Amino acid sequence: MKNQSTLNRHRSILKLILNFWTIVTMILFLVDFFSRHNFDIAASGAGVIYLALLGIYVSDKEYSRWRSGFASRFLGESFVIIWTVLMALFVIITPFSRGVYAVPGEFALVYTSVIGVFAVSQHSKALKRKN
């Protein structure tokens, strides 16, 4: 039982780190967008860190799901919704700004990666339920 509690503690720490980088990345992309890409290097760097951490977290979670029947108490859907709202905001504001604002290319990459990771995780969950 100690081993499982240690794994849960490690996963909680990883989740806390991921949440932190999610917020930092979203804020940097917002600041970059509204500053007309004055923070593109910081936003790009945060995006890379965020995607790496997301991949590590989801891989760990899915491994635990298959190995020991782990069931997440957190809903990945909320992250997808927040990223989608942010993308929609950028896409809606961009044409109305008459060239003042533009969707950061790196943001589109991060957004589609988040959607892809979520989809793979959902397929893994569904497959595990069938077994």
CA–CA distance, 50 with 56 (Å, rounded to integer): 10
CA–CA distance, 68 with 64 (Å, rounded to integer): 6
- In this prediction the pTM is 0.89
Q: The tokens 């782990």 sit on which residue?
A: 70
Q: Does 74 have pLDDT greater than 70? A: no
pLDDT digits 0-9 by tens, 80-131: 999 999 999 999 999 999 999 999 989 999 999 999 999 999 888 888 788 7
List the domain range (segments joined by +) for residue 22: 2-130
Q: How many domains does the chain have?
A: 1
